[in-house]
Amino acid sequence: MGSMPNVPAASALPRRDQIRKEAARLFAARGFLGVGVDEIGKAVGISGPGLYRHFAGKDAMLADLLIGISERLLEEGRRRAGNGGGAPEALDALIGGHVEFALDDRDLITLHDRELLNLKEEDRRTVRRLQRGYLELWVDAVRGAYPALAEPAAEPVARAAVHAVFGLINSTPHSLGPNPAQDDRVAGLQRDGMAALLHSLAHGAFSAAAGAAAAGAGSGAGAASGTEAEAGADTEVDT
Amino acid sequence: MGSMPNVPAASALPRRDQIRKEAARLFAARGFLGVGVDEIGKAVGISGPGLYRHFAGKDAMLADLLIGISERLLEEGRRRAGNGGGAPEALDALIGGHVEFALDDRDLITLHDRELLNLKEEDRRTVRRLQRGYLELWVDAVRGAYPALAEPAAEPVARAAVHAVFGLINSTPHSLGPNPAQDDRVAGLQRDGMAALLHSLAHGAFSAAAGAAAAGAGSGAGAASGTEAEAGADTEVDT
DNA sequence: CCCCAACGTTAATGAGCGTTAACTCGTGCC
DNA sequence: GGCACGAGTTAACGCTCATTAACGTTGGGG
């Protein structure tokens, strides 16, 4: 095995990546269970069981996609968050990176939170561990950027806000056509315009979360309706 | 009097509704294609094909659920939005209603945007029509509440912002356990605390959208001409 | 030259599943 | 009493689909 087998380079990207791309597109469009292996094969020019030369099975394809994207998110997130500057800059970089991801890899973002339950237990745990790490990155940045959220009692608020902002940003592939569309405008907004808007929305949401936490410090967050609740201060962190 | 056939009242709610509830739960938990009819039957105490006495088929159950929730959202939305007061009050009422929905009917909210593709063409069109009507309600309220978004050029921004806020609010069933859990605290936050927080986040996002639209008025919100210019720095949001 | 390893092909297998058929059982009404 | 009917039951059909088997082709290295 001293020499590389061969370098196809014909289809620009190796078979394995080609399969990844088409599988992601199809899974995002019709769901993991709604797509047959024959269809994936046809999409890459081979037919049916030929895929088994490249992946152990249909499950393995989904696992590869979900673990891959989770790793990319976490790695890139770490890179951006730790790129000098303070917490506000880190948060801004995280938002920018996630928005870019959501706009450029819609299929994967869609899969990322839609198809987790179709993974075998072990892979699911792996993905969840990566997701948790990514979330921690955000929670730390947000709490660093907004002092009101740094209060111990505000930790659940920060966490929930991050979840919500994920939903906000990830909604894009959902509202737009599921297809990447490669380049041009979407829904009447230029891609960069949409990116800027999502960026603003995310900041606005976090800012509001900080305001709510400050206002309701010690009595829960009561914005409009003033029903007070006991401040749930106990937080359990597992693993 | 006409003597109704019978009044079960034993299981508290009629078979048909029982099936609706369990089917929603199962579909939300494992996806429409991931649940078999036998399983739905078992969940309501009858077995397998007995369901066909109540629904025309599995597809019909999903259609019933999705059309039902879409109608409820639109109807309740109209009620709340047109309940006197100006646009700001209407927007506030819409947000409150949707948050309530997302917290109390998580299964349905999940299905609402996850399983649309498993509907037959006709039903899908019906649901989309209802969803579009609901969205218009929001777009009108937002543009009425924030003058900057009322500008004709800002219409796509308003629309995108509404989509994003839907994603934000709907993220709740997603981040929390899929199970309604009926009552108690979730993720360290009391239910009402979470409601208040989501309310604040939604307002914060809309406010930021208005700010972005005002800042980028006339230029279509094109953020930067540079390729990787990530210094947003455009809108300083304040609640 | 020959072999083997990579890469595909088609046919077969076997399980799962939605739906239908045929039949049963209780209950209100004439 | 008998009849119709709502509500279930189990067995069987038919189809889809992931996976495996068995076989074919190409090309480079010994």
What tens digit of pLDDT does each residue of A8-20 get? 444 568 999 999 9
Nearest to B56 by CA among B127, B120, B121: B120
Of A92, A160, A190, the CB nearest to B197: A160
The phi, psi pair for A189, rounded to 5°, reads -120, 135
Q: Report CA Rg, chain A.
A: 21
pLDDT, position B185: 60
Residue range B115-167, pLDDT digits in tens: 999 999 999 999 999 999 999 999 999 999 999 999 999 999 999 999 999 99
Minimal-distance CA residue of chain A relative to B33: A33
How far apart are the CA of B157 and the nearest CA of chain A, in angstroms?
8
User: Do the Cβ atoms of B216 and A208 come within 8 Å?
Assistant: no
Residue range B191-205, pLDDT digits in tens: 999 999 999 999 999
The footprint of strand D (CB < 7 Å) covers A 3, 6, 35-38, 48-49, 52, 57-59; B 5, 15, 41, 46-50, 53-54
- Kindly report which listed range (A76-85, B5-14, B16-25) carries the lowest average pLDDT score: B5-14
- Compute the average pLDDT of residues A70-77: 98
Minimal-distance CA residue of chain B relative to A189: B156
* Nucleotides of D strand lying within 7 Å of any protein CB atom: 6-11, 16-21, 28-29
pLDDT band at residue B215, thresholds of 50, 70 and 90?
confident
Q: Which residue out of A106, A142, A201, A219 would a mutagenesis test of the B interface target, given it has the greatest number of B Cβ atoms within 10 Å?
A: A201
Contacts of A191 (CB under 8 A, 6+ apart): A103, A183, A184, A185
Could you give the count of Cα atoms lying within 13 Å of A63 in the half-sphere of its Cβ? 14
Residue range A155-207, pLDDT digits in tens: 999 999 999 999 999 999 877 655 555 555 666 778 999 999 999 999 999 99
Rounded to whole angstroms, how far apart are CA atoms B97 and B193? 15
- Tokens linked to B62: 């999903």
User: Do the Cβ atoms of A196 and B156 come within 8 Å?
Assistant: no
Residue range B68-126, pLDDT digits in tens: 999 999 999 999 999 888 999 999 999 999 999 999 999 999 999 899 999 999 999 99
What is the full DSSP assignment across A101-128? HHHH-HHHHHHHHHSGGGS-HHHHHHHH
pLDDT, position A181: 56
User: pTM score, two decimals?
Assistant: 0.88
Q: Which residues of B69-101 are buried (b: 16+ CB within 10 A; e: fewer)?
A: bbeebbebbeebbeeeeebebbbbbbbbbbbbb
pLDDT, position B56: 97
**Is pLDDT at A122 greater than 50 in this prediction?**
yes
- Compute the average pLDDT of residues A32-40: 98
pLDDT, position B142: 98
Q: Which of A134-148, A222-236, B9-23 has the highest mean pLDDT?
A: A134-148
Burial (CB count within 10 angstroms: exposed 0-12, middle 13-18, buried 19+), residue B143: buried
Top pLDDT among B32 and A220 is at B32
Q: Where are the alpha helices (DSSP H) in B31-120?
A: 37-44, 58-81, 87-104, 106-114
A146's enclosing H/E stretch is: none
Rounded to whole angstroms, how far apart are CA atoms B43 and B65? 17
Residue range B217-230, pLDDT digits in tens: 644 444 333 333 33
Residue whose token pair is 């024959």: A38
- Compute the average pLDDT of residues A17-38: 98
Which residues of B fall within a CB distance of 8 Å from A199? 232
What is the full DSSP assignment across A44-105? HTS-GGGGGGTSS-HHHHHHHHHHHHHHHHHHHHHHHHTSSS-HHHHHHHHHHHHHHHHHH-
pLDDT band at residue B6, thresholds of 50, 70 and 90?
very low
pLDDT, position B173: 82
**Is pLDDT at B17 greater than 60 in this prediction?**
yes
How far apart are the CA of A169 and the nearest CA of chain B, in angstroms?
7
Of A156, A188, A223, the CB nearest to B199: A223
pLDDT, position B126: 98
**Is pLDDT at B236 greater than 50 in this prediction?**
no
| Residues of chain B above pLDDT 90, percent | 74
Task: Note the maximum CA span of chain B.
Answer: 78
Average pLDDT, chain A: 86
**Which residue gives the smallest C-alpha to C1' distance to C21?**
B49
Rounded to whole angstroms, how far apart are CA atoms A151 and A189? 38
pLDDT band at residue B36, thresholds of 50, 70 and 90?
very high
Rounded to whole angstroms, how far apart are CA atoms A192 and B229? 11
Rounded to whole angstroms, how far apart are CA atoms A67 and B108? 28
pLDDT, position B178: 52
* Nucleotides of C strand lying within 7 Å of any protein CB atom: 6-11, 16-21, 27-29
User: Do the Cβ atoms of A208 and B209 come within 8 Å?
Assistant: no
Q: Which residues of A226-237 are buried (b: 16+ CB within 10 A; e: fewer)?
A: eeebebbeeeee
How far apart are the CA of A3 and the nearest CA of chain B, in angstroms?
39
pLDDT, position A2: 37
Q: Report CA Rg, chain B.
A: 21
